[in-house]
Amino acid sequence: VIGGDGSLTGANLFRQEWSSLLDELLTTAKITAEKKELCSHLHIVGMVGSIDNDFCGTDMTIGTDSALHRIIESIDAIVTTASSHQRTFILEVMGRHCGYLALVAALASEADFVFIPEWPPEVEWPLRLCKKIEQERRMGKRLNIIIVAEGAIDREGKVVTAEMVKDV
């Protein structure tokens, strides 16, 4: 089974119920006692497939690299337009409880600001964000990139969304 928490939990539940499922098949005469004995041992192999890259004991979970690649492709696609028109782009990326993708994408794209669940900004983040963008523009920078993980919150636990950042 390759999957996240739900898939691996389901596989474990299936493993726990395996003997009772065999009993049911035997009781309803859908299998023989010999077949039940032959199939009595169920082996399940699980591999974490999660874009969040939040599993201990592995450098990178299956799916993380692909998700990051797509995010960087999206950023690359908007950079030329944003720069030529002096724009600020706000990208919301996957990561309900884990800001790995947002943080690595921010580093790779030299984003001006990043919001991740693990490092909530101070309550006055809107003021700091405006000052940062104003400073960048005074220095001649024509492009600003802000990345928001979908699970980002501030230090009071209030959700920070891409729409909120846009409204600032």
Q: Can you give the residue ranges of every domain in the chain?
A: 2-48, 64-167
d(CA 92, CA 160): 10
Which residues are the active-site residues? 52
The full length of the chain comes to: 168
Tell whether pTM > 0.85: no
> Mean of the per-residue pLDDT values for the chain?
93
Structure tokens at 160: 């920070």
The predicted structure's pLDDT at residue 96: 84
d(CA 158, CA 92): 16
> What are 14-65's pLDDT values in tens digits?
999 999 999 999 999 999 999 999 999 999 999 989 888 888 788 888 999 9
> What are 71-101's pLDDT values in tens digits?
999 999 998 877 788 889 999 999 888 999 9
Residue 58: name the closest of 47, 44, 72, 42 by CA: 47
d(CA 27, CA 21): 10
The CATH architecture assigned to 64-167 reads 3-Layer(aba) Sandwich (3.40)
d(CA 4, CA 17): 20
